[in-house]
Amino acid sequence: MTQPGLVPVQTTPSASLRGVIRAPGDKSISHRALIIAALATGRSLIKGLLVADDLTSTANALRQCGVVIGVGKQGDCEIDGVGIGGLIEAADVLDLGNSGTAVRLLMGVLASHPIQTIFSGDRSLQARPMRRVAEPLEQMGASVRTGTNGGLPVVLIGAQSPMPITYQLPVASAQVKSAILLAGLNIIGTTKVIESIPTRNHTENMLRAFGAKIGSELIDGVTHITLEGHPELMAQEVTVPGDPSSAAFPLVAALITQNSEVVVEGVGINETRTGLYKCLLEMGADIHIDSVATVNGEPIANITARSSKLKAVEISASRAPSMIDEYPILAAAAACADGTTLMHGLGELRIKESDRLRAIVDGLQDCGVETSVTGDTLEVKGTGTGGVPGSENQILSHRDHRIAMTFLTLGLVSKVPVEVDDGSMIDSSYPNFLQDMNLIGAKMACSI
């Protein structure tokens, strides 16, 4: 029986997928565009912003802090920036819903405003670790009280006289890096972040596009990022590229489904995000990346995927930051491949929107695929037939958008239809997922 509030969604196996779709706006870049435009002087125009629940959370939080934001048709959005240091104290708690990026980046921004902010979110967000952001922000002079087990709610009192820091990231996290850099905007002096494994650099690119003085230097294989405080950020017209993390679903769908050819247009191919595509090419995927443009320092391409006979690969931990959100869909591809795929260094997956390692293993086992975890390594024994047996039971999404989309995609090549217990969270990152998939020939529908 369906639990109240859950929206079960079912995929019926497909014989072929064909068509051209446009990737939804990049979630990471959309958050940064909203936040940085809010701190600039003048009115910015953001085109192609992802209109999804996670971005609504960020936009509403900024509005609570005094920013005027108007969202128009097709994701075009106008923001009247308040200037660096110009945010005001919110009268109420900032509820960031399901979005880890929203809460962590905004904690950074507000840490160098001398005001108090209380952050909260949904059950999943409340359980996610916030100490990793709180620690550097405390070094900058903010006071941060986290909730039980270091999660939300967080009470943050921004520093009166914030200090620049040099911080070596203990975990490869773009959210932690970005929180520090965004705090550094309102601090006199140079804020420096050192990362030994590169993480997505959209904050650096967007800050540069708005006129900040930001440097990135590779010294002995380690990246040193420096930001000069109090730059003059000037309003911009920004175009948000399509999200490679969302494009991954229709593209992997085409690879694993027979007689298929799918093109996803306008996908961001920033080096720090393309780990999945490298892995798929190593697995023998018929994928073509046709570079088309660079916007606001971000490269964009059209990506074509055709049905492919995939083979297993071993993926090193060093690739994890460039594909951290893509392991669920890669595991689905591995389930259809010939041989045993090993993915190392996946510890961070335990603290995403759900415990994704557990969710992948349970869901794949339910679908008849031998899967296990040893330490931080995921092992998937591919069926080698290009398909999976499937499950008579509902697959649990754990209210995680990427887990839901992964198993709905796998349902395309399952012997029996796959039903996911809840597809409602897909709205947090890819609200048109079902429409896009059905447009290319899939049969995915809510089952109540």
Please report, as ranges, the residues that interact with ligand S3P according to CB under 6 A. Answer: 28, 101, 173-175, 178, 200, 324-325, 348
For residues 28 and 270, which CB has a smaller minimum distance to ligand S3P in the complex? 28
Nearest-approach distance from CB 11 to ligand S3P, in angstroms: 24
Nearest-approach distance from CB 175 to ligand S3P, in angstroms: 3
Contact in structure between 423 and 240 (CB atoms under 8 Å)? no
For residues 11 and 223, which CB has a smaller minimum distance to ligand S3P in the complex? 223
Q: For the stretch 147-162, what's the b/e string if a residue is b when 16 or more beta carbons lie within 10 angstroms of its beta carbon?
A: eeeebbbbebbbbeeb
Catalytic residue check, 325: yes
Nearest-approach distance from CB 207 to ligand S3P, in angstroms: 14
Nearest-approach distance from CB 387 to ligand S3P, in angstroms: 29
Nearest-approach distance from CB 408 to ligand S3P, in angstroms: 19
Provide the 10 A C-beta neighbour count for residue 255.
27
Nearest-approach distance from CB 16 to ligand S3P, in angstroms: 31
Contact in structure between 417 and 10 (CB atoms under 8 Å)? yes
Q: Which of the following is catalytic: 54, 122, 243, 325? A: 325
For residues 146 and 414, which CB has a smaller minimum distance to ligand S3P in the complex? 146
Nearest-approach distance from CB 160 to ligand S3P, in angstroms: 28
Residues 6+ apart with CB under 8 A from 78: 43, 44, 45, 46, 69, 70, 72
CA distance 36 to 227: 14
For residues 178 and 257, which CB has a smaller minimum distance to ligand S3P in the complex? 178
For residues 113 and 402, which CB has a smaller minimum distance to ligand S3P in the complex? 402
For residues 288 and 350, which CB has a smaller minimum distance to ligand S3P in the complex? 350
For residues 168 and 372, which CB has a smaller minimum distance to ligand S3P in the complex? 168
C-alpha distance from residue 134 to each of 74, 102, 196, 274, 365 (Å): 36, 14, 20, 29, 37
For residues 55 and 156, which CB has a smaller minimum distance to ligand S3P in the complex? 55
Nearest-approach distance from CB 125 to ligand S3P, in angstroms: 12
- Residues designated as active site: 325
